[in-house]
Amino acid sequence: MLKKLCMLILIGLFVFPVFSENIFADKGYKLNEKGNKEYLNKNYKSAVNNYIRALSEREDPIIKYNLANSLYQMKDYDKAIDVYKKIEKEVPDSVKPDLYYNLGNAYFQKKQYDKAVKSYVNCLKMKPKDKYAKENLELALKMLKQQKQKKNKKNDKSDKNKEKNKNQKDKEKNKDKKKNKKNKQQQKEKQKNEQNKKEEQKKKELKKLLKTLAEQEKIDRKKNMKNKKKQKAIIDRMEKDW
């Protein structure tokens, strides 16, 4: 079906403009005819050049339509779509079904199946018996369904990965929290131990100081006692001398 879609991409190609009486004197018409011959010989690049030259002589939607078909054959689908869309309301009604058909094929090649479906539907509204448009519509709908399923599957996978990543992050976050809590607890215990050591050191220093003071007081007391005895001995001697 896809091969048929590509093979039948130019249905309606031979819808050429109808000019005034002296058509052979019209340079734009002649260049358009030359472009058509190049197109039929599959020289699409040359055909494009002739159509562009023809358009410089004569602004005509049919020449633009032929240009879009050539661009499509060169696989320049973006430019082809752009031209088809611009002349959508300009071409004669007899050409519109083929334009929508070709536009649908261009969207199909771009894997824009939703737009391809709309284009084929527009074609069938104007040309209900077009079997190729029906077949391509069915194929586009099938591809669109697969595309949506694939997208949903991808989204589900993405959501699962996000959930998995979230759980992993939460797990790591909780792990970090526990680690931080443990570190804080250890830090707190360390500070407490250091504080206890400092207090213990202060107690030792105070105890040592008190001991030193007590010893000094003892020494002073003995010294005072000696001085008192000495003074008493001096007094006793003086009394005897009298």
- The reported pLDDT for the residue numbered 23 is 52
- The reported pLDDT for the residue numbered 32 is 92
Query: 122: closest CA among 12, 130, 69, 112?
Result: 130
- The reported pLDDT for the residue numbered 183 is 84
Sign of the Cα torsion 150, 152, 154, 157 reads: negative
Between CA 39 and CA 122, with CA 95 as vertex, the angle to 5 degrees is 115
Query: 59: closest CA among 83, 98, 28, 82?
Result: 28
Query: 137: closest CA among 117, 107, 163?
Result: 117
- The reported pLDDT for the residue numbered 233 is 67
Q: What is the pTM of this model?
A: 0.59
- The reported pLDDT for the residue numbered 222 is 78
- Express each pLDDT in 8-53 by its tens digit: 333 333 333 333 344 555 899 999 999 999 999 999 999 999 999 9
Amino acid found at 77: Y
Query: Which runs of consecutive H residues, i.e. helices, occur in the chain?
Result: 2-7, 27-40, 44-57, 61-73, 77-86, 96-109, 113-126, 131-241
- The reported pLDDT for the residue numbered 115 is 97
- The reported pLDDT for the residue numbered 196 is 80
Q: Which two tokens stand for residue 226?
A: 């000696």
- The reported pLDDT for the residue numbered 34 is 93
CB 101 within 8 A of CB 116: no
- Express each pLDDT in 173-193 by its tens digit: 878 788 888 888 888 888 888
- The reported pLDDT for the residue numbered 144 is 96
Amino acid found at 22: N
Ranges of the chain whose pLDDT falls below 70: 1-25, 206, 209-210, 213, 232-242
